[in-house]
Amino acid sequence: MTHSLIPTARLRAMLIESGILVMPCCFDALSARLIERAGFPLTFMSGFAVSACRFGAPDTGLVSYGEMVDQGRNICAAVSIPVIGDGDTGYGNAMNVKRTVRGYAAAGFAGVMIEDQVWPKRCGHTRGKRVVSWEEALARVRAAVDAREEGTDILILARTDARATHGLAEAIDRTRAFADLGADITFLEAPLTEDEMRAYCAAVPGPKMANMLEQGETPLLVPERLEDIGYKIVAYPLTLMSAAVRAMQDALTALRQGRPPDKLVDFVEIQDLAGFARYYSEEERYRVAE
């Protein structure tokens, strides 16, 4: 039923349907297309993965608003499933946050994540994180919600990293305040135990997202367990990039050893993923007789 709707409306519908949403994260148009073809209902453009794959740089605020929007525009154009974009801190003050929300919506995103770290921000599972004051954190979310209410068709995912700097109680208070301001989804980054995850889900209303990063700070739990805890979305931020890196490393080792790599995708499938079949069909429609 939801597939007949535009991505933003489909995401809104998904949030009120039963069942947890499993969301592998993408970093470019090809990875997003693979996620869609595998049957997942939505994806998320990971800032960590974009920074690593596009620039070979760490997720430490080195990627700009314009570069993220550009990457997201290509991703959103390549798929029909809803895409949520990592909007970092909004790239400035409250007015920058509003510009980010509007820009992400114009690029085709169904949702945008805004967080409360200082700029330059850092990956939520690495050292050196700092968050802005309570007042500034709320101002960012209020600006994002205002941009939505002023006619920007996009959902707001509000994130806090305060667990690492101010403790669990402060992080829960922030996410509850974000929900009260009108955030569509909240995200408490890097809880340390299942009990902390349950405390957050019990205390904060509305849809909540869990982040399952392999070797990260948060316990890795199966989707069914996360749904029981109270989460609506489970994100896998680096699973695809990690798998791709391992596959490329294995292929390069084989080539260095003078042997063909194993488990390669057929050339025909690569062409299909890149869109050759659709291109050839369009080409025939506009072919001019000689």
pLDDT tens across 6-44, in order? 999 999 999 999 999 999 999 999 999 999 999 999 999
Is the per-residue pLDDT at 3 higher than 70? no
Percent of the chain with pLDDT over 90: 88
Q: Report whether 139 contacts 174 (CB < 8 A).
A: no
pLDDT band at 120 (very low <50, low <70, confident <90, very high): confident
Q: What's the CATH number for 2-238?
A: 3.20.20.60
pLDDT on residue 87:
97
Query: Rounded to whole angstroms, how far apart are CA atoms 186 and 163?
Result: 14
DSSP 108: T
**Mean pLDDT across 197-210:** 98
Tokens for 50?
Answer: 């974009």
Is the per-residue pLDDT at 2 higher than 50? no
Query: Rounded to whole angstroms, how far apart are CA atoms 262 and 272?
Result: 20
C-alpha distances (whole Å) from 69 to each of 22, 104, 178, 210 are 24, 6, 24, 24
**Mean pLDDT across 110-120:** 94
Tokens for 8?
Answer: 């933003």
Q: Report whether 103 contacts 65 (CB < 8 A).
A: yes
Is the per-residue pLDDT at 124 higher than 70? no
pLDDT band at 1 (very low <50, low <70, confident <90, very high): very low
Percent of the chain with pLDDT over 70: 97
Query: Rounded to whole angstroms, how far apart are CA atoms 79 and 35?
Result: 9
**Mean pLDDT across 60-79:** 95
pLDDT on residue 129:
82
pLDDT on residue 222:
98
Is the per-residue pLDDT at 177 higher than 80? yes
pLDDT on residue 4:
53
DSSP 65: H
Domain limits, CATH 3.20.20.60, in the chain = 2-238
Which three-class secondary structure state does DSSP give residue 153? coil
The CA-CA-CA angle for residues 260, 266, 272, to 5°, reads: 145
Alpha-helical runs (H) found in 154-230:
163-166, 168-181, 194-203, 223-229
C-alpha distances (whole Å) from 29 to each of 55, 58, 272 are 16, 20, 14
Q: State which amino acid sits at residue 85.
A: G
ω into 205 cis (within 30 of 0): no
Decide: residue 16, CB within 10 A, 0-12 exposed, 13-18 middle, 19+ buried. Answer: exposed
**Mean pLDDT across 224-229:** 98
